[in-house]
Chains A and B, each alone.
Chain A
Amino acid sequence: MAFPHRPDAPELPDFSMLKRLARDQLIYLLEQLPGKKDLFIEADLMSPLDRIANVSILKQHEVDKLYKVENKPALSSSEQLCFLVRPRIKNMRYIASLVNADKLAGRTRKYKVIFSPQKFYACEMVLEEEGIYGDVSCDEWAFSLLPLDVDLLSMELPEFFRDYFLEGDQRWINTVAQALHLLSTLYGPFPNCYGIGRCAKMAYELWRNLEEEEDGETKGRRPEIGHIFLLDRDVDFVTALCSQVVYEGLVDDTFRIKCGKCHGPLLGTSHMAGLVFNEIRNEHFSNVFGFLSQKARNLQAQYDRRRGMDIKQMKNFVSQELKGLKQEHRLLSLHIGACESIMKKKTKQDFQELIKTEHALLEGFNIRESTSYIEEHIDRQVSPIESLRLMCLLSITENGDARCSLDTHYGPEHLLTFSNLRRAGLLTEQAPGDTLTAVESKVSKLVTDKAAGKITDAFSSLAKRSNFRAISKKLNLIPRVDGEYDLKVPRDMAYVFSGAYVPLSCRIIEQVLERRSWQGLDEVVRLLNCSDFAFTDMTKEDKASSESLRLILVVFLGGCTFSEISALRFLGREKGKREFIFLTTAVTNSARLMEAMSEVKA
């Protein structure tokens, strides 16, 4: 049932161009500082950088030594120092301390700071305040789109989630708009645009502004991608909070996939390597083991063929097939190892119960039992992050009422975590319904008055009410099950959650694409508290080829999960030979979401 390489699928745009572009720009920036130089790289940028330009390319452009940006004095003896960093105040202070130390020692060197993907004013302010603004030269490496897969682009900005949804910091929106602009210059305009969410709307408008400034550049180009759909993460927290059971998602939950590279037993395996992975990544985990053993048997059979071969055939076999088989074999054993490891963790009783509880929460029955399960979870103090996740899930699906289980016995910093979760709308509190709607109407009035900025605080102080139950009913997120859900032959997107739940985000996308507008979804949009942030924009001209209209770019602002990716891949295959392309600020999962909200002791 695996679905890579469908003959009827539309061809995907060539995203390797983005890598080349980023590499060329980086090289150009490095060449701006002629001669030997030491490069200081921020830890978060190391893996993305590795996918763009490896060490030998850097060496070719006279990078002498590589250092990690960390809070230690630099040992570099080079006359030229180059810093490749995210625009963070912490980094600026680090650089300032280096430069000032040099100044004290009476040493003059050349310093260059390359901000990726863009510089922020606050950073320059800090440089100026530290008195080194004139000593360093600043540049931007507008590298914001990393192709992780043929259909997956990541901005590798996990901080987007916290910065925007918690701190209300809108600086990254500009980065998103720039990235979209880049895409439209490379792959033609997008004839149909849809979006939901405050951030989505802002990013979209900013992007449009950029396009207008550059008018003419994209006009006249034939669109390669027919649709674009922007979606804020806070439209659907539920999906992101669930435990993942699709293989790739499960691997991410268990071992963490970072920038396309796995950790744990699959250590270092590139995400796309091997047919094996391509065939199982979107599968429900329960199928994977069977699939792998089948695969192993096949492989063995192929090995076995050599018995009874004559010399010539054997020669042929060794020279042509053996290498591939060996490779395949290696990967297969890796995945089997991973599976065993996952099985050990997950097929245990507690995992099953966990899944059961999640499903109960999603479906909205046995609430009492689920609550006591979560309480027990807290009582056992196994993993605070996991407990938090369950609490959030409970509070969103049940419209609040997580008070009962809140407790500070995890330590004082978690009191702040709770306040963060509440502010971001991950933990909701029960509030009398009528007062809330009054506030809501006020707020929406403000929004139409275009005083958008004024409501930032209004919003954050307003305890967001989740209407998950009602939305679920409206969108039919819980499929009615007649008998056993056959996970081997999925019927709908719910298969990514064992047939218990269709991801809300994916359902919205499906519905809107079907209608080609938000028409008839007014109630849902209202329940999502997004009445003023759902938009469509179609160009009248019918230049888009039917081929391009089968391609849909989905932009997740705040991150998307592998489950959502798998679900939409399934949808694309199922519904009229379409293909989804994903652009996300980062690939996320429930644990990352919770960690982003946590206050930790520094």
Chain B
Amino acid sequence: MDCYTANWNPLGDSAFYRKYELYSMDWDLKEELRDCLVAAAPYGGPIALLRNPWRKEKAASVRPVLDIYSASGMPLASLLWKSGPVVSLGWSAEEELLCVQEDGAVLVYGLHGDFRRHFSMGNEVLQNRVLDARIFHTEFGSGVAILTGAHRFTLSANVGDLKLRRMPEVPGLQSAPSCWTVLCQDRVAHILLAVGPDLYLLDHAACSAVTPPGLAPGVSSFLQMAVSFTYRHLALFTDTGYIWMGTASLKEKLCEFNCNIRAPPKQMVCWCVYAAHSKERAVVVAWERRLMVVGDAPESIQFVLDEDSYLVPELDGVRIFSRSTHEFLHEVPAASEEIFKIASMAPGALLLEAQKEYEKESQKADEYLREIQELGQLTQAVQQCIEAAGHEHQPDMQKSLLRAASFGKCFLDRFPPDSFVHMCQDLRVLNAVRDYHIGIPLTYSQYKQLTIQVLLDRLVLRRLYPLAIQICEYLRLPEVQGVSRILAHWACYKVQQKDVSDEDVARAINQKLGDTPGVSYSDIAARAYGCGRTELAIKVWVCWSMSHAQGSRPLRAGTLIWVRARLGVFTVLLHLKNELNRGDFFMTLRNQPMALSLYRQFCKHQELETLKDLYNQDDNHQELGSFHIRASYAAEERIEGRVAALQTAADAFYKAKNEFAAKATEDQMRLLRLQRRLEDELGGQFLDLSLHDTVTTLILGGHNKRAEQLARDFRIPDKRLWWLKLTALADLEDWEELEKFSKSKKSPIGYLPFVEICMKQHNKYEAKKYASRVGPEQKVKALLLVGDVAQAADVAIEHRNEAELSLVLSHCTGATDGATADKIQRARAQAQKK
């Protein structure tokens, strides 16, 4: 315990700074860092080194090597640089490596050295070459700022959405500025540059000279400037060895320091802002062999650098790596300070002590505890311990602090457990990713700022799928956000492995993913298709479909039943339709009749237009006709549209040599037009009625002339017209008209229907009128219908028809017909005698 604060260095009265080792570097660098272009991403990100840069005029024949390492120095990628000379390297917020070439081209590489894309910073840059470049981060993404050989600046605030902006000229600028940096204020990127004793601020409209308030006199040149992580503070280093610190708006000075070293520092980092609770602002300045932390205090902290080192600004500190080590320098957080400060009597410190004594089974534990409780500070003590645990790098120390917190919690009635539980979880995740093999040395504050989602993304980016999944499961993240997303990423990566056979990849994917909800197989298949592995895309689908077809039972290899296989193909096709052009897609479909029929059905519900195209492609005029017919009543509202659809249908039917259908369709068109006219002229509802109903409606409405005209126009068969009129008039009970109609000419349907229909309306009187006109072979039936059994019997006897006789007989009921029955019996007997 005594030595725990040994590496704490006080700065002024109230702040301590400590530096501890994160990793001893695994890499085996042949070159010195100073011979390389170096870029390290914030948030414990990867380190890129481009060895053998061009500034050292070596033989051009040796191609430089671009290496990418994790923060612990594990090699991630190594590639020969085959492009032009590089001026600057930098990491984007998505951990993509941006390499700015001398000709203004920016090449973008992935974490694993995979080339992603490239873009150019414009013609002006191309002509004047790049003198210097900076990659900077804003809340929108990552930007690139370039200083050209003509001493002009060009910048793009977001490389994802490239918009080049050429900054205004700095009047009278003849040589390169001694130093410059990008400032982001009010969401706009500015450039601050120093030329001799003057500072200029460039925004996209103008260039204005600025003067930092309270700047010590005698400055003839600014050697270095540093802006804080959040662009709120700025530090300037002058040739007099004087450091000015203030707000980035250059409106307020915070403090100054004179270090009396005139040599230009190699790097300067300003992180003043983060420690909101601390009043201290500090700047780290590095020279070849010296590291200095300066702040609002007369003394500075000095470290000796044994090796060539490189500083990486972080949110809450600075990472310093060299050939052999990787260290972190930060201000000791308040909670830790309270607890560990020598002779601290803070509640947290007492609690930690109490817990230690408790473990030693010493009664002092009770004394300490009592002391805290008497002051009523136990809650605070627990909180302090929890908080401090978060800021500790060593798991041992985290543990003992958490143990203390947990111990203290026992004596509290109502202490919400969340903070403790979350801290334990967070630390577990942090320790896991800080591990040497993973190499993401995040601090607690950085982790909170970064969020777990981004951290998972970064793990996925590093292809650390198992760890990512474990974390998701450990934190019980919802599957869709967590495990499924990672599995989907994994599968997308898997399909890009060109050296593995399609079959194996598909099976592996299926085994891993199974029925995980939220995984989009279409994305995976699309990725495979994007890599030119169409077969694999199909296999992925087939595997998926098969496992689905089998319900919950696990996939059994080698049971490709053709039905399922074809179904699988169908699904792929469905997906590929977005990828392939229409023609190709339909051609592919043609060779899969099973899929084709399914697809047709699918289209009927989802994409009618596609269905039409499909029929068109096949010259399937019959179906095309049917399609338009359906459209004429299902899709079209306006009458003109419907007629047009029918016309198209009719044309299609002619092409299909289905004259019958074509004629019928044309009739329908005529009918529609006519119905429209009828509606206009007569009012009422005619549209959508069938021809038969139209005529009926006309008769019912008393428009007999029209009805007949219509029947003639559409050549309704005579018989049908008679039936129709008969029914309609009977419905109207217009007996007079019916009689007239019956006499208009000889009925083609006979007169029995007249009798029937009158009886249906219970009009016996009318029925009898027609019964007399019924032809001989149906006479009996007619007479029976009107209930004239006696006469029916007479007719039947006259006809000597056995069937008719028995029919009449069956109608003889009760006493009234007794006589008739006898008559028939007699006639029968007579007939038999003969």
Q: Among A93, A171, A349, A416, point to the contact of B567 (Cβ < 8 A).
A: A171
A496 within 8 A of B: no
Q: Which residues of A contact B (CB under 8 A)?
A: 89-90, 93, 118-119, 121-122, 124-126, 128-129, 133-134, 137, 140, 142, 163, 167-171, 173-174, 202, 206, 209, 213, 349, 375-376, 378-381, 403, 406, 408-413, 415-416, 418-419, 452-454, 456-457, 599, 601-602
CA distance A409 to B691 in the complex (A): 5
Could you give 6 example pairs across A and B, Cβ below 8 Å? A134-B484, A379-B720, A403-B660, A409-B690, A415-B661, A415-B668
**Nearest residue, chain B, Cβ from A203:** B563
Per the bound structure, the CA–CA distance linking A410 and B692 in Å amounts to 7
Cβ contacts under 8 Å, B517 to chain A? 134, 137
In the complex formed, the residue of B with least CB distance to A384 is B690
The interface residues of chain B lying within 8 Å CB-to-CB of A121 are 545, 548, 567, 570-571
- State whether B660 touches A406 (Cβ < 8 A): yes
Of B6-14, B222-230, B339-347, B625-633, the stretch lying at the interface with chain A is: B625-633
Query: Nearest Cβ in chain B — how far from A380, in angstroms?
Result: 5
Query: Is B563 in contact with A454, judged by CB distance below 8 angstroms?
Result: no
User: Judging by beta carbons under 8 Å apart, are A419 and B606 in contact?
Assistant: no
Name B563's contact: one of A173, A378, A418, A457 (CB within 8 Å).
A173
Q: What are the residues of chain A within 8 A of B602 when measuring CB–CB? A: 89, 122, 125
**Dominant SS among interface residues on chain A:** helix
Residue of A nearest to B481 (CB): A134
- Pairwise interchain contact A169-B598, C-beta atoms closer than 8 A: yes
Q: Which residues in B have their C-beta under 8 angstroms from that of A412?
A: 629, 632-633, 646, 664-665, 668
Q: Is B416 an interface residue (CB 8 A)?
A: no
Residue of B522, B600, B781 touching A167 (CB-CB under 8 A) = B600
In the complex, which residues of chain A have a beta carbon less than 8 angstroms from the beta carbon of B660?
Answer: 403, 406
Say yes or no for B74: interface residue by CB 8 A criterion. no
Residues of A within 8 A of B574 (CB): 122, 125
A137 CA / B480 CA spacing, docked (Å): 12
Interface residue total, chain B, C-beta cutoff 8 A: 62
- Minimal Cβ-Cβ distance residue in A for B691: A409
The 4 closest A-B pairs by CB, nearest first: A134-B518, A379-B720, A408-B664, A89-B605
Give the residues in chain A near B562, CB-CB below 8 Å.
452-453
| Interface pick from B145-153, B589-597, B735-743 | B589-597
Which B residues touch A379, using CB under 8 A? 717, 719-720, 723, 749
Within 8 A of A (CB), among B645-688: 646, 660-661, 664-665, 667-668, 688
In the complex, how many angstroms separate the beta carbon of A171 from the nearest chain B beta carbon?
Answer: 7
- A168 and B665 contact, CB distance less than 8 A: no
Bitwise interface map of B from 564 to 590 toward A, beta carbon under 8 Å scored 1, else 0? 101100110011000000000000000
Known: A406-B660, A408-B667, A453-B592. A213 touches B597 (CB 8 A): no
List chain B residues, Cβ under 8 A from A122. 574, 598, 601-602
B501 in the interface (beta carbon within 8 A) = no
- Given A122-B598, A408-B664: A453 touches B566 (CB 8 Å cut-off): yes
Whether the Cβ atoms of A209 and B566 lie closer than 8 Å is no
Q: Answer yes or no: B716 CB below 8 A from chain A CBs.
A: yes
Chain B facing A: main interface SS: helix
A381 touches B716 (CB 8 A): no
- B residues in contact with A453, CB < 8 Å: 562, 566, 592-594
Residues of B within 8 A of A375 (CB): 719
Contact A89 B629 (CB under 8 A): no
Q: Are B563 and A140 touching (Cβ within 8 A)?
A: no
B635 to chain A, nearest CB (A): 10
| A206 engages B665 (CB within 8 Å) | no
Is there an interface contact between B518 and A133, defined as CB atoms closer than 8 Å?
yes
Q: Which residues of B contact A119 (CB under 8 A)?
A: 548
CB-CB under 8 A from B691, the residues of chain A are: 409
Q: Known pairs A134-B517, A167-B600, A415-B661. 9 more at Cβ < 8 A?
A: A122-B601, A174-B549, A378-B720, A381-B723, A412-B632, A412-B633, A419-B626, A453-B562, A601-B633
Within 8 A of A (CB), among B543-571: 545, 548-549, 551-552, 556, 559, 561-564, 566-567, 570-571
- A168 and B597 form a contact (CB under 8 A): yes
Taking CB atoms, residues of chain A closer than 8 Å to B633 are 412-413, 601
A90: chain B residues within 8 A (beta carbon): 605
Q: Which chain B residue shows the least CB distance to A450?
A: B562
Q: Report Cα–Cα, A167/B566, bound state, in Å.
A: 16
Say whether A408 contacts B668, CB under 8 Å. yes
**Is B622 at the interface (CB under 8 A from chain A)?**
yes
Residues of A within 8 A of B622 (CB): 419
State whether the Cβ of B724 lies closer than 8 Å to any Cβ in chain A.
yes
* Interchain CA distance A202-B646 in the complex, whole Å: 39
Q: Are B630 and A209 in contact (CB under 8 A)?
A: no
| Chain A CB within 8 A of B206 CB | no
Q: Which residues of A contact B665 (CB under 8 A)?
A: 412, 415
B723 close to A171 (CB less than 8 A): no
B479-518 contact mask (Cβ, 8 Å, vs A): 1 or 0: 0100010000000000000000000000000000000011
The distance in angstroms between the C-alpha atoms of A140 and B629, with both chains bound, is: 37
Judge whether B551 and A174 touch: CB under 8 Å: no
Do B661 and A133 touch (CB < 8 A)? Answer: no
Interface residues as binary, B521-558 with A (CB distance below 8 Å gives 1, 0 otherwise): 01000000000000000000000010011011000100
B634 contacts the other chain (Cβ, under 8 Å)? yes
Report whether B749 and A416 are in contact in the complex, using a CB–CB cutoff of 8 Å.
no
* Chain B residue contacts of A167, Cβ below 8 A: 597, 600-601
> What's the Cα separation between A403 and B663 when bound, in Å?
14
In this assembly, does B520 line the interface, its C-beta being within 8 Å of a C-beta of chain A?
yes
CB atoms of B563 and A202 under 8 A apart: yes
Chain A contacts of B630 at CB under 8 A? 413, 416, 599
Bound Cα distance A594, B691 (Å) = 22
* A376 adjacent to B749 (CB under 8 Å): yes
Q: In whole angstroms, how far apart are the Cα atoms of A356 and B549 in the complex? A: 49
Cα(A169)–Cα(B605), bound, Å: 14
- Docked CA distance A349–B723 (Å): 18
Closest A residue to B689 by CB, please name it: A411
- Tell me which residues across on chain B come within 8 A of A170, comparing CB atoms: 563, 594, 597
CA distance A140 to B749 in the complex (A): 58
Smallest CB–CB gap between B20 and chain A, Å?
Answer: 43
Query: Bound state CA distance, A419 and B658, in angstroms?
Result: 11
The one of B561, B600, B606, B724 that contacts A381, using a Cβ cutoff of 8 Å: B724
Closest to A173 in B: B563
A90 vs B749: C-alpha distance when bound (angstroms) = 47
- Assuming the A-B contacts A119-B548, A167-B597, are A415 and B561 also in contact, with contact meaning beta carbons closer than 8 angstroms in the complex? no
A168 to B518, CA, bound (A): 31
Write the nearest CB–CB distance from A207 to chain B, whole angstroms: 11
Contact call A416/B724, Cβ cutoff below 8 A: no
Query: What separation, in Å, do the CA atoms of A142 and B550 have in the docked complex?
Result: 11
Given A376-B719, A409-B692: A142 touches B551 (CB 8 Å cut-off): yes
* Nearest chain A CB to B97 CB, angstrom units: 32
A452 to B565, CA, bound (A): 14
Closest-by-CB residue of A relative to B479 is: A134
Point out the residues of chain A lying under 8 angstroms from B561, CB to CB. Answer: 206, 209
Complex: A169 Cα to B606 Cα, angstroms: 16
B residues 702-754 in Cβ contact with A at 8 Å? 714, 716-717, 719-720, 723-724, 727, 749
| A84 to B660 alpha-carbon distance, docked (Å) | 44
* Complex Cα gap A350–B667 (Å): 32
Name the CB-closest residue of B to A208: B561
Given known contacts A169-B597, A376-B749, A415-B629, A602 and B559 CB-to-CB distance under 8 angstroms: no
Q: B618's closest neighbor in chain A, by CB?
A: A457
Docked pose: A171 CA to B545 CA in angstroms: 12
Q: With A137-B517, A599-B630 in contact, is A456–B593 under 8 Å at CB?
A: yes
List, in ascending order, chain B residues with CB within 8 A of A409's CB: 690-692, 714, 716, 720
Residues of B within 8 A of A140 (CB): 551-552
B571 nearest in chain A by CB position = A121
CB pair B522–A128 under 8 Å, yes or no, is: yes
CB distance from A138 to the nearest CB of B (A): 8
B777: min CB distance to chain A, Å: 13
On whether the beta carbons of B597 and A415 are closer than 8 Å, the reply is no
Closest chain B residue to A125, Cβ basis: B574
